Structure 1
Amino acid sequence: MPLWNRWGGQIPVGVREKLMLPVQQLITSGAAEGALKEGERVEDFTLPNALGRPVTLSHLLKEGPVVINFYRGSWCPYCNLELRAYQQALPQLRALGASLVAVSPQTPDSSLTMAEKSGLTFPVLSDVGNRVARRFGLVFTIDEAVRAAHQQMGADLPAFNGDQSWELPISGTFLIDWDGTVRLAFVNPDFTRRLDPAVVIAKLKELQGA
């Protein structure tokens, strides 16, 4: 699901080049190769939702498969487009017995603002410090040389995330089966490319033998 064409033209060329530098660095380093893959198991975790209430993966899995979407933050227009696409697909996901959660390093207050603005009705979880994203092998640090470009685009990460680490998760979507096994994993260092919800829906149908 390429999204760059929708927003790239609105960003000054010089800023756009700096925003894309981390993408090239991640691709060159092969960072995404360290992410969890299909067939691997996910450790249980508990994170607060936008209202500060705990949400535990194992509790969700008792009801069926769980789709976990790691996004960078509410300041990221590509993340907002993706989350709205998953909101539209939510009835189909639920009809197939699955639940959906979105995870970012933002504080609960920042997550709540985004969830209300975008009309999201699935849990938006706060992984402050990227503790869970680190287990999934997704965490990287924005270099000092390009932090000003991010701030220029409204991405003041210390303000959104409540720390000075400038760490983010690589955007990724995972489908977790009832026993904690990853059945679908999509991780792309290029933040302008995301997994179409239709792919997740097709995988759920495959798992059900539909």
Structure 2
Amino acid sequence: MKTFAIALLLILSPLFIFAQGGLKVGDSAPSFSATDQNGKLIRSEDVLAKGDMVLVFYRGTWCPHCRRHISNLQKDLLQITEKGANVVVVTPEQPEFIEKMVKKSGATFSILHDASYKIMLDYKVAFKLGREIVPASFKQMQKNARKHNGNLEDMLPVPATYIISRDGNIRYIHYNPDFTERASVEEIGAQLVNL
């Protein structure tokens, strides 16, 4: 098991270096605006005016870990909203695929289409998919990314979670290049209590 963990770290280390760019707990969160699945313009300032924000990045509906994570967020959403926080999700997927995620997960929170990768880049989670990062599944991931993102840029986000307090500062970061590892609703809820 230890050998597997070391091998995984070596495989994913280029991804970690590329995407982990320096956002830290205590930093000011970059502001953003984008359109959600309902065609509504969502601005981070407006969300923060209502309470703390849980900002989640996912790769695509094609990713079973992403579908499970978004479904779990929806299933246990009350654990977040009862603490005065709002969930906003960001993906590079085109709106037609976001709609599929909404149908599969039942998501009632905003899922934003990051068409130009600006939010992903500002939050230091964007990486360019490469054969050295995921050698065994590169071709399939590339095919999925190109189809769902609608371009040939092969950009994906590390599936990260940020908790941003009303004052616009980052209070919690879950960032792991291992795409199977996600912040649980329980962990997010516990962090919100600590705010």
Report the TM-score range of the alignment, normalised by the length of the smaller protein. 0.7 to 0.9
Matched with 1:156 is: 144
Matched with 1:76 is: 63
Give the secondary structure class of the aligned counterpart of 1:60. helix
Aligned residue identity for 2:64: P
Of the candidates 13, 32, 38, which is equivalent to residue 26 of structure 1? 13
* 1:52–1:108 contact (8 Å) kept in structure 2: no
| TM-score for the superposition, normalised by structure 1 | 0.81
- Equivalent residues in 2 for 1:41-56 (5 A)? 41-56=28-43
Displacement after TM superposition at 1:22 (Å): 9.7
Of the candidates 71, 76, 97, which is equivalent to residue 110 of structure 1? 97
* 1:71–1:103 contact (8 Å) kept in structure 2: yes
Q: Distance in 1 between matches of 2:56 and 2:10?
A: 19
Aligned residue identity for 2:151: D
Cα distance 1:23–1:35, how it changes in 2: closer, same or farther (>3 A)?
A: farther
Point out where structure 1 has 5 or more consecutive residues left out of the alignment.
1-19
- Equivalent residues in 2 for 1:171-186 (5 A)? 171-186=159-174
Q: Distance in 1 between matches of 2:99 and 2:15?
A: 35
Cα distance 1:30–1:112, how it changes in 2: closer, same or farther (>3 A)?
A: same
Cα distance 1:168–1:138, how it changes in 2: closer, same or farther (>3 A)?
A: same
| TM-score for the superposition, normalised by structure 2 | 0.87
- Equivalent residues in 2 for 1:1-210 (5 A)? 24-26=11-13, 30-143=17-130, 149-150=137-138, 152=140, 155-207=143-195
Deviations, residues 40-92 of structure 1 (Å, cap 9, x unaligned): 01121111101332111100100100000011111100111111111122112
Cα distance 1:127–1:148, how it changes in 2: closer, same or farther (>3 A)?
A: farther
Question: Is 139-148 or 182-191 further displaced after alignment?
Answer: 139-148
Task: Report % sequence identity.
Answer: 31
Aligned residue identity for 2:35: P
Aligned residue identity for 2:44: L
Q: Distance in 2 between matches of 1:129 and 1:28?
A: 20
Q: Distance in 2 between matches of 1:48 and 1:101?
A: 11
Tell me the number of residue pairs that the alignment of Structure 1 and Structure 2 aligns. 189
Point out where structure 2 has 5 or more consecutive residues left out of the alignment.
1-6
